[in-house]
């Protein structure tokens, strides 16, 4: 193979269009380096000069969560998407599109601030006395607990889980799998206790936790292999227990 | 107490630490960031954070840590801030522990430590091999708490363009644009804290994120901020080569037992650190050259040394497969050690398509970190004028600079795992000093005439129109390729004066051609081409600072290696380089290095032994920011 085609869904809300670019094959290329190549000479497949493609990027080593997009319809990070893997089976076209469950800004870039708002709602932090002098360490954490929580803590808010989830939509208030997983992270931390009940109540209020259809898409697309489908039923049970406790108190 | 308004530019570790501290002190903080702060470049830091808390029972102490940091930096760092940073380490670690940061643990539930480069002590706390990410998340979460309380207002996808300076030259705010629609606006405050990180993108392919252009510092420099030690740029010994970037393979891989080697060739001779000529290992057998040359530190020599030796080996034709690369071997590491660096090994596997647990990785040095940056003040606690000066403040009153974008703490070479500590520490310091500065002001921002802000905004409006209207033939991304190529060749591991002179001419030529660019995108909707073209102007000025500083410094110190001048020259060059902007090119001056705690001595990593070093003149009235 000497060339391949990037077929890209471009444009702004309600003004989206497809544009194709033909690029020389390079066995070390990834989707990001291909998009960078277009910047230097933004001419589409029809030979028409166009604007460089817009996308979001950061670390390019799959730890910042910025470069999420749909590649051949699957949500993932573009930096680890190698061109040679996508052209292996004789296919010469790779399709890039922006996420659909978030506000489109332009081309492949969407605004994911909704995910950060969700972190605010669920108090995704450890309440502490701040940066005053600390003479003592926090509560001890066993190596086993650390090993189980650390993976949850590598969530980079990339949005792949929400994008893949059939229950997440613009209309529904469901915070998505990532936020629920964060509830588990903070509620399992020995120092996360003070706000534990509140987090569960928030999740109960949320339209979605009960609505999880167990499609298992989220766990399949998570680039960090976070055990999302393990966390969702676990937190749902905890939330139900909390509701029962609250009911008894109210009664 | 009146309202205190502070702007923090940059939401990496340093910016978040400052934001948190300022919010705690009751300031109203506006946090400006190119991206969601949780995606800042600090996430790329893998290995760990150095804290001499002696939990590994090795008789370690902050004094030893400071000593090693000063020596590791080849005596170019001012010593009082280094000492205080190391002393604050234990408290910073305890703070991060209280924030729920996911540090690896020992069997009894305490924080685990590993040994990093340039030290013989296990003083690096870590979270797997994504320590920067985990520390950043912990601070991001604390800042989010203050945001929910209304004490912090975030301006994400916004970029700092210039300071608004009042008639006395004090910073009273900033002009920024919204990356989504290029709308220009002004934020007002009595102090501005710059925490904009590194400049790897000047070299294009570095281990840095693509947002690390150094443009903010370049813009400040063009507005009069002094730029210090620009020529000191760290090359990380171990990265994997890619078309879009150099991907870091953390020092922690070597800390956990990874070894660097090439196949030996006994027919070739190489000079060892003691001056003797010896054969390059045994032919066709793995030659662990760092272990042989530096028996005390082995694969954990400081980064400048590691990078130079790898380059030297490759230039002798000994590189793996005859290429510019050497093996980094994690195959012999036990599974539990591999687990501790799992995410690094996984990233290697994703890009190389080979399992590094079974096949040795192939790596090469890459641009990694800028020791230089904005010049900042540091009155030591026993200086008589301590109260009238402000730590971390640039020469522009009211403008502070912290984290990688400042120049303190690391001298001529940074020790691995000291950056995360320096970022958090300097952020906390700014969080104390900025309010103190504001309280010292006679006039506050609300009494500053609006013309100050209108003028600044007007200048940026003019600049925006000018740039969008450019009608030339040059492509900004190709100019960037040209700039980075000349910088990588001539202003990285090895430097020589003739090439540096050529480099300066080349940068000036590119600067000339920059006047003739035209943008392939002229709209206002998320125009990334425009944004980069705007940044590029400032990047060119920083590139000139790096090249000019390197040209003038005729010695070999830390990361600055010039074979024509193969020795450190304290008599002539134990001084900080200070660049001031001039439209012709940087004006370079020098400043004495504060060596009050330790007299300069030779660095020796071949024969070093674990001794108990001491520092002199340690003040008794040190007040840490935590």
Q: What is the mean pLDDT of chain B?
A: 96
Based on the domain organization, do A104 and A117 belong to the same domain? Answer: no
Based on the domain organization, do A168 and A96 belong to the same domain? Answer: no
Partners of A30 on chain B (C-beta within 8 Å) are 242-244, 351
Partners of A76 on chain B (C-beta within 8 Å) are none
The per-residue b/e assignment along B224-254, b for 16 or more CB within 10 angstroms, e otherwise, is ebbbbbbbbbbbbbbbbbbebbbbbbbbbbb
CB B297 within 8 A of CB B118: yes
The beta-carbon neighbor of A141 closest among B39, B109, B350 is: B109
Based on the domain organization, do A105 and A116 belong to the same domain? Answer: no
The beta-carbon neighbor of A59 closest among B94, B209, B343 is: B209
> Comparing B249-366 with B453-575, is the CATH topology the same?
no
Three-state SS for B584?
coil
For residue A10, give its domain range. 3-110
- Inform me whether the pLDDT recorded for A40 exceeds 70: yes
Write the DSSP assignment of B196-243 as a string of letters. ----GGGGSSBSS-TT---HHHHHHHHTT--EE-TT-EEEEEEEE--S
User: Is position B303 annotated as part of the catalytic site?
Assistant: yes
The beta-carbon neighbor of B44 closest among A41, A59, A79 is: A59
- Which residue did the predictor score with more confidence, B117 or B143? B143
Q: How many CB atoms lie within 10 A of CB B566?
A: 9
Residue of A nearest to B345 (CA): A61
> Which residues touch B303 (CB under 8 Å, ≥6 apart)?
B117, B118, B234, B235, B236, B237, B251, B368, B413, B414, B415, B416, B559
Based on the domain organization, do A58 and A85 belong to the same domain? Answer: yes
Contact at CB, B110 and A140, closer than 8 angstroms: yes
Signed CA dihedral, B559, B224, B388, B429: sign only: negative
CB B163 within 8 A of CB B174: yes
Partners of A26 on chain B (C-beta within 8 Å) are 243
Q: Which token pair is B311?
A: 């380059």
Contact at CB, B39 and A156, closer than 8 angstroms: yes
Of all residues in chain A, the percent with pLDDT exceeding 70 is 98
Partners of B145 on chain A (C-beta within 8 Å) are 123, 125, 127
CB pairs under 8 A between A and B: 206
Based on the domain organization, do A119 and A94 belong to the same domain? Answer: no
> Which residues touch A142 (CB under 8 Å, ≥6 apart)?
B105, B109
Three-state SS for A32?
helix
Q: Which token pair is B337?
A: 């050690």
The beta-carbon neighbor of B36 closest among A116, A126, A137 is: A116
Mean pLDDT (whole number) for A77-83 = 97
Based on the domain organization, do A120 and A244 belong to the same domain? Answer: yes
Phi, psi of A20 (to 5 degrees): -115, 145
Contact at CB, B244 and A40, closer than 8 angstroms: no
Q: Grade residue B609 by pLDDT with cuts at 50, 70 and 90.
A: low
Query: What's the confidence (pLDDT) of residue B2?
Result: 61
Mean pLDDT (whole number) for B402-422 = 97
> Out of A190-204, B5-19, B327-341, which region has the weakest mean confidence (pLDDT)?
A190-204
Q: For the segment A96-141, what is each residue's pLDDT rounded down to a tens digit?
A: 999 999 999 999 999 999 999 999 999 999 998 888 777 899 999 9
Interface test with A, best of B12, B23, B95, B100 (most A CBs within 10 A): B100
Based on the domain organization, do A208 and A84 belong to the same domain? Answer: no
Q: pTM for the whole thing?
A: 0.97
Mean pLDDT (whole number) for A70-84 = 97
Is the Cβ of A114 closer than 8 Å to some Cβ of chain B?
no
Which of A110, A143, A163 is where one domain is finished? A110
Mean pLDDT (whole number) for B58-68 = 95
Interface test with B, best of A48, A61, A181 (most B CBs within 10 A): A61
The 3-class SS string of B396-457 reads CCCEEECHHHECCCCCCCCCCCCHHHHHHHHHHHHHHHHHHHHHHCCCCHHHCCHHHHHHHH
Give B426 to chain A, closest Cα distance, Å: 13
CA-to-CA separations, B374 to B247, B387, B417, B427, B434, in angstroms, rounded? 26, 22, 21, 14, 16
Domain range list for chain B: 249-366, 453-575
Mean pLDDT (whole number) for B359-367 = 96
Query: What's the confidence (pLDDT) of residue B616?
Result: 96
Q: Which token pair is B432?
A: 């104390």
Interface test with A, best of B97, B247, B368, B625 (most A CBs within 10 A): B97
Q: What is the mean pLDDT of chain A?
A: 93
Based on the domain organization, do A229 and A169 belong to the same domain? Answer: yes
Contact at CB, A52 and B529, closer than 8 angstroms: yes
Contact at CB, A134 and B626, closer than 8 angstroms: yes
Give B108 to chain A, closest Cα distance, Å: 7
Q: For the segment B165-207, what is each residue's pLDDT rounded down to a tens digit?
A: 999 999 999 999 999 999 999 999 999 999 999 999 999 889 9
Measured at the CA of B67, the angle between CA B65 and CA B71, to 5 degrees, comes to 115
Least Cα distance to B70 among B85, B51, B48 occurs for B85
Structural domains of chain A, count? 2
Which of A51, A83, A110 is where one domain is finished? A110
Phi, psi of B176 (to 5 degrees): -135, 165
Mean pLDDT (whole number) for A190-218 = 85
B286 secondary structure, DSSP code? E
Contact at CB, B36 and A132, closer than 8 angstroms: no
Based on the domain organization, do A117 and A17 belong to the same domain? Answer: no
Query: What's the confidence (pLDDT) of residue B608?
Result: 65
Measured at the CA of B405, the angle between CA B400 and CA B411, to 5 degrees, comes to 105
Q: Grade residue B240 by pLDDT with cuts at 50, 70 and 90.
A: very high
CB B375 within 8 A of CB B503: no
**Going by DSSP bridges, is the β-strand pair A74-77/A68-71 parallel, antiparallel, or unpaired?**
antiparallel
Query: What's the confidence (pLDDT) of residue B425?
Result: 98
Query: What's the confidence (pLDDT) of residue A36?
Result: 97
Residue of A nearest to B212 (CA): A58
- Inform me whether the pLDDT recorded for A204 exceeds 90: no
Is the Cβ of A14 closer than 8 Å to some Cβ of chain B?
no
Query: What's the confidence (pLDDT) of residue A193?
Result: 84
Based on the domain organization, do A78 and A125 belong to the same domain? Answer: no
Give B605 to chain A, closest Cα distance, Å: 32
Catalytic residue among B247, B259, B303, B506: B303
Rounded to 10 deg, the angle between the A196-205 and A228-250 helix axes is 100
| CATH 3.30.450.270 matches B249-366 | no
Contact at CB, A58 and B98, closer than 8 angstroms: no
The beta-carbon neighbor of A61 closest among B347, B353, B481 is: B347
The per-residue b/e assignment along A199-214, b for 16 or more CB within 10 angstroms, e otherwise, is bbebbbebebbeebee
- Inform me whether the pLDDT recorded for B143 exceeds 60: yes
Mean pLDDT (whole number) for B379-385 = 96
> Which residues touch A82 (CB under 8 Å, ≥6 apart)?
A29, A30, B351, B353
Of all residues in chain B, the percent with pLDDT exceeding 70 is 99
CA-to-CA separations, B518 to A24, B430, B468, B471, in angstroms, rounded? 25, 40, 8, 5
Q: Grade residue B605 by pLDDT with cuts at 50, 70 and 90.
A: confident
- Inform me whether the pLDDT recorded for B64 exceeds 90: yes
Is the Cβ of A90 closer than 8 Å to some Cβ of chain B?
no
> Out of B258-262, B511-515, B611-615, which region has the weakest mean confidence (pLDDT)?
B611-615
Is the Cβ of A146 closer than 8 Å to some Cβ of chain B?
yes
Distance CA(B129)–CA(B114), nearest Å, equals 11
Among the four given CATH numbers 1.10.287.70, 1.20.58.100, 3.30.460.10, 1.10.287.890, the one describing domain B453-575: 1.20.58.100
Q: For the segment A30-39, what is each residue's pLDDT rounded down to a tens digit?
A: 999 999 999 9
Residue of A nearest to B97 (CA): A138
Q: For the segment B279-295, what is each residue's pLDDT rounded down to a tens digit?
A: 999 999 999 999 999 99
Query: What's the confidence (pLDDT) of residue B118?
Result: 85
- Inform me whether the pLDDT recorded for B1 exceeds 60: no
For residue B271, what are the β-bridge partners? B277
Which of A75, A110, A145 is where one domain is finished? A110
Based on the domain organization, do A133 and A167 belong to the same domain? Answer: yes
Based on the domain organization, do A145 and A238 belong to the same domain? Answer: yes
């Amino acid at each position: 193979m000497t060339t391949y085609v990037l077929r890209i869904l471009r444009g702004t809300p309600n003004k989206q269009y497809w544009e194709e670019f033909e690029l020389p094959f390079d066995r070390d290329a990834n989707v990001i380096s291909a998009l960078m190549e277009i910047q230097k000479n933004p001419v589409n497949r029809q030979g028409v000069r166009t604007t460089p493609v817009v996308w979001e990027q950061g670390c390019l080593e799959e730890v910042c969560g910025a470069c999420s997009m749909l590649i051949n319809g699957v949500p993932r990070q573009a930096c680890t998407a190698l061109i040679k893997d996508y052209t292996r089976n004789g296919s010469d076209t790779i399709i890039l599109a922006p996420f659909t469950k978030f506000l489109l800004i332009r081309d492949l870039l969407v605004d994911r601030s909704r995910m950060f708002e969700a972190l605010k709602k669920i108090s995704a932090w450890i309440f502490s006395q701040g940066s005053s002098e600390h003479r003592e360490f926090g509560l001890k954490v066993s190596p086993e607990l650390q090993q189980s929580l650390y993976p949850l803590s590598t969530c980079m808010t990339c949005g792949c889980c929400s994008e893949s989830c059939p229950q997440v939509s613009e209309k529904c208030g469901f915070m998505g799998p990532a936020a629920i997983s964060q509830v588990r992270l903070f509620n399992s931390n020995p120092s996360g206790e003070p706000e534990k009940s509140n987090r569960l109540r928030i999740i109960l209020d949320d339209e979605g936790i009960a609505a999880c259809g167990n499609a298992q898409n989220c766990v399949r697309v998570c680039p960090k292999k976070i055990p999302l489908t393990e966390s969702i039923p676990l937190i749902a049970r905890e939330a139900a227990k909390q509701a029962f406790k609250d009911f008894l108190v109210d009664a | 107490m009146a309202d205190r308004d502070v702007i923090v530019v940059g939401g990496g570790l340093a910016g978040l630490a400052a934001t948190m501290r300022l919010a705690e002190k009751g300031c109203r903080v506006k946090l400006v960031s190119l991206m969601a702060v949780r995606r800042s470049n600090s996430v790329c830091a893998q290995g760990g954070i150095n804290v001499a808390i002696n939990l590994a029972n090795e008789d370690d102490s902050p004094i030893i840590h400071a000593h090693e940091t000063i020596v590791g930096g080849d005596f170019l760092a001012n010593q009082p801030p280094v000492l205080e940073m190391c002393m604050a380490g234990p408290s910073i670690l305890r703070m991060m522990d209280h924030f729920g940061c996911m540090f690896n643990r020992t069997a009894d539930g305490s924080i685990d430590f590993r040994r990093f480069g340039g030290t013989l002590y296990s003083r690096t706390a870590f979270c797997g091999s994504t320590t920067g990410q985990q520390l950043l998340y912990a601070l991001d979460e604390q800042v989010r708490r203050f945001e929910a309380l209304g004490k912090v207002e975030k301006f994400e996808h916004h970029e700092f363009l210039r300071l608004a300076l009042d008639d006395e030259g004090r910073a009273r705010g900033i002009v920024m644009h919204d990356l989504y629609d290029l709308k220009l606006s002004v934020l007002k405050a009595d102090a501005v804290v710059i925490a904009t990180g590194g400049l790897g993108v000047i070299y294009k392919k570095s281990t840095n994120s693509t947002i690390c252009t150094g443009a903010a510092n370049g813009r400040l420099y063009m507005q009069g901020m002094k730029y210090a030690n620009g020529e000191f740029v760290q090359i990380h010994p171990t990265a994997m080569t890619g078309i879009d970037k150099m991907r870091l393979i953390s020092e922690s891989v070597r800390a956990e037992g990874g070894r660097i080697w090439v196949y030996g060739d006994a027919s070739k001779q190489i000079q060892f650190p003691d001056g003797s000529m010896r054969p390059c290992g045994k032919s066709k057998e793995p030659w662990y050259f760092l272990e042989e040359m530096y028996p005390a530190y082995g694969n954990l020599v400081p980064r400048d040394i590691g990078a130079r030796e790898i380059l030297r080996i490759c230039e002798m034709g000994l590189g793996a497969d005859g290429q510019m690369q050497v093996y980094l071997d994690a195959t012999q590491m036990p599974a539990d050690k591999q687990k501790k660096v799992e995410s690094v090994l996984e990233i290697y596997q994703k890009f190389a398509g080979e399992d590094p647990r079974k096949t040795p990785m192939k790596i090469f040095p890459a641009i990694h970190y800028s020791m230089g940056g904005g010049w900042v003040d540091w009155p030591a606690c026993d200086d008589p004028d301590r109260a009238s000066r402000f730590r971390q403040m640039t020469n522009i009153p009211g403008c502070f600079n912290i984290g990688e974008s400042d120049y303190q703490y690391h001298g001529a070479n940074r020790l691995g795992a000291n950056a995360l500590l320096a970022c958090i520490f300097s952020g906390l310091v700014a969080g104390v000093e900025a309010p103190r500065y504001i309280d010292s002001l006679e006039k506050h921002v609300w009494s500053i005439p609006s013309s100050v802000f209108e003028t600044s905004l007007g200048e940026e409006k003019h600049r925006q129109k000018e740039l969008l209207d450019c009608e030339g033939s040059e492509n900004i991304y190709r100019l960037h390729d040209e700039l980075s190529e000349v910088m990588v060749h001539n202003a990285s591991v090895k430097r020589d004066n003739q090439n540096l002179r050529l480099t300066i001419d080349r940068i000036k030529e590119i600067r000339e051609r920059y006047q003739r660019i035209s943008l392939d995108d002229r709209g206002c909707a998320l125009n990334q081409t425009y944004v980069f073209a705007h940044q590029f102007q400032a990047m060119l000025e920083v590139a000139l600072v790096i090249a000019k500083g390197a040209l003038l410094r005729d010695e070999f110190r830390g990361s600055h290696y010039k074979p024509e001048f193969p020795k450190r020259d304290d008599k002539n060059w134990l001084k900080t380089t200070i660049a001031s902007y001039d439209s012709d090119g940087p004006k370079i001056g020098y400043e004495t290095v504060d060596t009050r705690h330790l007299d300069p001595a030779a660095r020796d990593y071949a024969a070093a032994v674990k001794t108990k070093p001491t520092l002199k003149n340690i003040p008794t009235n040190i007040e840490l920011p935590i």
